[in-house]
Structure 1
Amino acid sequence: MINLSNVTVTKNKKVILKNINWQVKKGEHWSILGLNGSGKTTLLNVINGYIHPTNGQVEVLGELYGKTYIPDLRKQIGLVSASIQQQIQNFEGVLSIVLSGKFASIGLWEAVEREDVDIAKKYMKLLNCDYLQEREYGTLSQGERQRVLIARALMAKPKLLILDEPCNGLDIITREELLKIIENLSKSKDCPIIIYVTHHVEEVLPCFTQTLLLRDGEVFEQGSSSELLTENALTNFYNRPVAVQKEQNRTWVALKEIVDQKA
């Protein structure tokens, strides 16, 4: 589904990503975990074809970048990100926003059929936002917007769904409601491969059985989430002592107090 080989991205003589090797196989759901500035957004832009690597090879959904028409390929990739959210006008209707996902466009500029409307309503019901279909985008809460955008991303029946920090800015109740929806989505029939990007360990749901740890533009470690989301592994990753607690099949992390040996 995704195959990155020795991918390096350099901008203004600064290395943003360095020798990224990463494979996502069919049937896997991955989390990408990293602190701010670790290169997560750049990595997503490479996968979506918005940034071309300085070196290396990118293959997504069997298509080799440089030898494929990226706009057509993007229709098979559902993306939910802050950059998409910022492009949508406040006056746009929710149903139109969801329908626009069929064409991977910002705004609905093409005619739709009755079947398209039915599919849009189906996804809105799946995301618990069908009651919003008559509302304007500017009247929605942050949590409602995220659910609408996920429904929009599913409209084209993508093979790959990328959720870029979807819980950013949500309160704890709204966050947990959205995470529950994502967990249910992962269990639905014909669910696309989900790539979930975050810097909060506790957002890594049980469905994300694989994790990529990204630090300073490099792959720190990758593999089974159960092996990487441990106290020893995360202490090494953050380069700070952390305490880990398992609750409801999720991992919760707190920094340990550093004792001054000279005191």
Structure 2
Amino acid sequence: MTHIVTCRNVTFKRDGQQVLNDINWTINQGEHWCILGLNGSGKTTLLNLINGYAFPTTGTISVLGNEFGKTNLPNLRKRIGYVSSSLDRFLHIMQNETAEEIVASGKYASFGLYEHLSDQEWLRVNDILEALRLQHLKGKSFSVLSQGEKRRVLIGRALMNNPDILILDEPCTGLDVLTREELINVMNEISARGSHIIYVTHHIEEISDVITNVLMVRDGEVIGSGRKDEVLTNESLSATFKLPVSVRWLHGRPWLNISIQAN
């Protein structure tokens, strides 16, 4: 398989309003992408289309070689891991589960562990906890974990089925600087496990070394798409964020400066 995700001339309208307009985007084998844009730019809508939770008004979408409209979406979703703050609505179910039970529940894409796991599957849970540096949380209830620990446990849950794609939808929202950096560093472990990362944010400093490409969206349209060192320019970022900005690179990561204009 050469193409992991392909969007061709995709548009999406909601209640007669244009949300996405003529999106053309391809994720190739071995690439890890960041979707970058302001709130309301269409990032979440694009994720919903990739997951098959919504369908384009026009255009075609293919994920992992499966063209939407010609494939079994529930089976396809088992190959996609998804971590988002929208999962917080299941906190009342997860709060009394232990960290390892949360990770294990990813085997069945459930919230709460209701099925039996084999010894081999529990070994995989332990392997994931170790890879994400979460072994010390074994036996602890989800409710007592810090925000950063909860996000990492949910990432572990998403990895339980060896997903071909792992979508991280603004995973650092609400985290302090130290916890954010710890979470960003976890992406090295994720990429080593073979998942293709789609990382969604509006903070360019979260684009780590692991991310190879960036899709920049503004008001539902693509502003730039390609290798991160080629598309993250002062001009494209200013257009994406709707104000004059400049980018500086430090140890392989981009950082944003807002240009202050004299009155």
TMscore range, shorter length: over 0.9
- In the superposition, the TM-score normalised over structure 1's length comes to 0.94
1:130 aligns with 2:164: no
1:37 aligns with 2:44: no
Give me the whole-angstrom Cα distance separating, in 2, the residues matched to 1:86 and 1:129.
23
How far apart are residue 142 of structure 1 and its match?
A: 0.7
Amino acid paired to 1:42: T
Map 1:241-260 → 2, pairs under 5 A: 241-260=244-263
Structure 1: any 5+ residue segments left out of the alignment? none
Give me the whole-angstrom Cα distance separating, in 2, the residues matched to 1:51 and 1:120.
32
Give me the whole-angstrom Cα distance separating, in 2, the residues matched to 1:141 and 1:26.
34
Question: Contact conserved, 1:161 with 1:195, CA < 8 A, in 2?
Answer: yes
142-151 or 174-183, which deviates more: 174-183
Amino acid paired to 2:183: L
- In the superposition, the TM-score normalised over structure 2's length comes to 0.94
Q: What's the secondary structure of 1:80's corresponding residue?
A: strand
Question: Contact conserved, 1:128 with 1:147, CA < 8 A, in 2?
Answer: no
Provide, for residues 140-175 of structure 1, a one-character-per-residue CA deviation record: whole Å limited to 9, x for no partner.
111001110111111001111111111111100111
Question: Contact conserved, 2:132 with 2:189, CA < 8 A, in 1?
Answer: no
Q: What's the secondary structure of 1:47's corresponding residue?
A: helix
Amino acid paired to 2:196: I
Which residue of 2 is the match for residue 225 of structure 1?
Answer: 228
Q: What's the secondary structure of 1:32's corresponding residue?
A: strand
How far apart are residue 76 of structure 1 and its match?
A: 0.3
Give me the whole-angstrom Cα distance separating, in 1, the residues matched to 2:148 and 2:137.
12
Q: What's the secondary structure of 2:209's corresponding residue?
A: coil
Give me the whole-angstrom Cα distance separating, in 1, the residues matched to 2:173 and 2:241.
20
What is the aligned residue count? 258
Which residue of 1 is the match for residue 196 of structure 2?
Answer: 193
Q: What's the secondary structure of 1:251's corresponding residue?
A: strand
1:174 aligns with 2:176: no
Identity, in percent, stands at 45
- 101, 104, 110: which is aligned to 2:106? 101
- 1:184/1:156 CA distance change after superposition, 3 Å: closer
Question: Contact conserved, 2:169 with 2:199, CA < 8 A, in 1?
Answer: yes
Q: What's the secondary structure of 1:253's corresponding residue?
A: strand
1:212 aligns with 2:212: no
Amino acid paired to 2:138: Q
How far apart are residue 12 of structure 1 and its match?
A: 1.0
- 183, 189, 196: which is aligned to 2:188? 183
1:113 aligns with 2:101: no
Which residue of 1 is the match for residue 66 of structure 2?
Answer: 63
Give me the whole-angstrom Cα distance separating, in 2, the residues matched to 1:106 and 1:15.
34
Structure 2: any 5+ residue segments left out of the alignment? none
Give me the whole-angstrom Cα distance separating, in 2, the residues matched to 1:20 and 1:215.
11
How far apart are residue 220 of structure 1 and its match?
A: 1.1
Q: What's the secondary structure of 1:46's corresponding residue?
A: helix
Provide, for residues 75-101 of structure 1, a one-character-per-residue CA deviation record: whole Å limited to 9, x for no partner.
100111111233132112221111111
Amino acid paired to 2:205: E
Amino acid paired to 1:64: E
Give me the whole-angstrom Cα distance separating, in 2, the residues matched to 1:228 and 1:73.
31
Which residue of 1 is the match for residue 56 of structure 2?
Answer: 53
Give me the whole-angstrom Cα distance separating, in 2, the residues matched to 1:140 and 1:239.
37
